[in-house]
Amino acid sequence: MKRGLALFLTALLAALTLTACGGAGGSGSSSAAADSADSEYFYNETPPADGGQWGWDYEALTDAPSGSGSEDDSGSTENRLLHAKMVYTANVEAETMDFDACAASLEALVESLGGYLEYASTGSYGNGSRSGSYTARIPASRFRDFLRAVGEIGHVTSQEIRSDNISEMYYDTESRLTTQRTKMERLQALLARAENMEDIITLESAIAETELEIEQLTGSLRHYDSLVDFSTVELRIREVIRLSTVEETPPTFASRLGNAFSGGWDNFLTFLEGLAIFLAYSWPGLVVLALILLLLLRASKRRTDGTEKGFFQRKKTVKNPDDKQPKD
């Protein structure tokens, strides 16, 4: 009995090692591996010729394939290259002079393309302007269409696009999942024929661990599918008084000088607007500060008149004429 249990534990260790190797490889399968997955389990009803014990053939558990790769088509390397798993993301910053209309157009655009808003947040500044941050999930096939349409509902100031190929991680996870499912089928077949209580307990423990691994791998694949099927776009929209423009360099010095004067005047007007808004918000504090300075100036003036001495005025000493200087 001890020898049979030792053989069983050795077989389980070999199966777990094979599972790790299959997950690290992440490559396609062959017809021979598929045939080995259908191998039969049997019970030795007669003693072996070498006089050893008879019982369950645990060595069949080590025949698990190293991984079959993608389940669609034939799972070959060529098909994987043709069906790469790409994840598209973008970061967009835009301006608008009508925030309400732009936000409504954005929501309608996302819905019309079959996507959804995963996150939305709006806020306002002290000058009354507003801004919004959005995370939009758009079908990968409409990713470019969405980016073009965003430029029509708002003034895009910056845009960053990124594409990541996760084919290796995806097919590696898929391969490990296939291996774990094959292992589960074989463990369940062994459990159905087991009669020894120790073997039953060991098999049930191995089945529980395999089920947990299958659940985790299945969740990872669903996450990857979500990233591949729906691209992610991060948007930030600001409400402004005037839209920023990108001007080409004027060909002549006079044109450049005129644009410089025009730009300087616009900046000066913007500064005055900001200063007026600042004074409107800060006038109570400025009035209090002015009163304090006025009181300090009056107190300083009184000290410099009459007998009072100023703060920085040096006090003069009056000499007594009766005082005589000591002789040498």
Any idea what DSSP says for residue 56? B
Q: What is the DSSP string of 180-239?
A: HHHHHHHHHHHHHH--SHHHHHHHHHHHHHHHHHHHHHHHHHHHHHHHHHEEEEEEEEEE
- Give the H/E segment covering residue 31: helix 31-37
Range in 61-75, 136-150, 174-188, 220-234 the model is least confident about: 61-75
- Residue 13's pLDDT is 53
Query: What rounded mean pLDDT belongs to the chain?
Result: 74
Greater confidence (165 vs 60) lies with: 165
pLDDT tens for each residue of 273-289: 788 888 888 888 888 88
CA distance linking residue 147 with residue 106, whole number of Å: 11
Name residue 319's amino acid: K
> What's the CA angle centered on 94, arms 91 and 99, to 5 degrees?
130
Q: Name the residue with tokens 């360099």.
A: 249
pLDDT category of residue 110 using cuts at 50, 70 and 90: very high
Taking a C-beta distance cutoff of 8 angstroms, is the pair 198, 158 a contact? Answer: no
pLDDT category of residue 312 using cuts at 50, 70 and 90: very low
- Residue 94's pLDDT is 93
3-state secondary structure of 86: strand
Token pair, residue 73, equals 């088509």
CA distance linking residue 288 with residue 181, whole number of Å: 78
Taking a C-beta distance cutoff of 8 angstroms, is the pair 97, 237 a contact? Answer: no
3-state secondary structure of 168: helix
pLDDT tens for each residue of 156-188: 999 999 999 998 899 999 999 999 999 999 999
- Residue 63's pLDDT is 41
pLDDT at 87 over 60: yes
Q: Quick one: 296 exposed, middle or buried, by C-beta within 10 A (0-12, 13-18, 19+)?
A: exposed
Taking a C-beta distance cutoff of 8 angstroms, is the pair 2, 163 a contact? Answer: no
pLDDT at 131 over 80: yes
pLDDT tens for each residue of 314-326: 555 555 555 555 5
Q: Which residues pair with 90 in a beta bridge?
A: 161, 233
Range in 63-77, 81-95, 294-308 the model is least confident about: 63-77
pLDDT tens for each residue of 3-24: 554 455 555 555 555 554 444 4
Greater confidence (231 vs 282) lies with: 231
